Amino acid sequence: MQFNKPLKHGVLRKRYKRFLADIDFGDGHITTVHCPNTGAMTGCAEPGYEVYCSDSENPKRKYRYTWELSLTQDKDWIVVNTQRANALAGEALRNGFIEPLKNIREWVAEQKYGEQNSRIDWLGKSDDSPLCFVEVKSVTLNEGGHGFFPDAVSVRAHKHVQELMQMRQQDHRAVLLFMVMHRGINDVAPAQHIDPKYAQLCIEAADAGVEFYAVKTHISDAAIKLDRQIHFQLR
């Protein structure tokens, strides 16, 4: 996935109100930009980090710029815009990047499903085969090279695992796909130390037949690309 135009480079001053961040682009004043990430962003939003923003070039938009990337003091790239994880997951699925899913014929994004009329990130369809429901998670919490999800207690994430188990009960395939959007992460696990209920739900889901995969990405200010499938440690 290429960035269509060069990203604007700056320095993070602060992130606040979840959706806003103040950036110093070196032009003599502080610019408020849109932060497309509702999570805790632990380790991703430290004041002084280099940041890269896309430009909507829309003068009518309240916040012209969107925060896309952070660069840590250790020079690890992080994708802040969580929408990029879904797009990269789509590339991985459609290109057969994940071996156990490569024979699925068609992938469709954002389809309604389940009793609560939720939306699944990707729905896989094949002739004479069960449907395949894929929920995508962006992993940016890095602790010594190990990635964890979630980075805060998440009732919404609990609900997603429970809905995937319901799909398995209906004899469909169900997948949790963790897209690693932090260059310093080398493996992924549920964050037992942060959200023990989520970790337990993942174990129950795996026992019910839900599949778990993790994909590492290569990140730069020019593009985000698929790198390789990495280990997901469930227990």
Give the pLDDT confidence of 181-193 residue by residue, as tens digits. 999 999 999 999 9
Return the CATH number of the domain spanning residue range 83-230.
Answer: 3.40.1350.60
For residues 28-46, give the mean pLDDT. Answer: 95
For residues 8-19, give the mean pLDDT. Answer: 96
Residues 8-79, CATH architecture: Beta Barrel (2.40)
Distances from the Cα of 176 to the Cα of 25, 123, 164, 191, 201, angstroms? 37, 12, 8, 15, 12
List, by residue range, all CATH 3.40.1350.60 domains of the chain.
Answer: 83-230
List, by residue range, all CATH 2.40.50.580 domains of the chain.
Answer: 8-79
Nearest to 184 by CA among 69, 81, 83, 74: 74
Instruction: Tell me the per-residue pLDDT of 60-110, one tens digit each, with 9 for 90 and over.
Output: 899 999 999 999 999 999 999 999 999 999 999 999 999 999 999 999 999
**Entry field: residues in the chain:** 235
Per-residue confidence (pLDDT) for residue 129, from 0 to 100: 86
Nearest to 18 by CA among 64, 67, 84, 83: 67
pTM over 0.85: yes
pLDDT band per the 50, 70, 90 thresholds, residue 214:
very high
Long-range contacts for 113-120 (Cβ within 8 Å, ≥24 apart)?
Answer: 113/163, 113/167, 114/163, 114/166, 114/167, 115/166, 116/159, 116/163, 118/159, 118/160, 118/163
Q: How far apart are CA 158 and CA 140, in angstroms?
A: 18
DSSP class of residue 61 equals: S
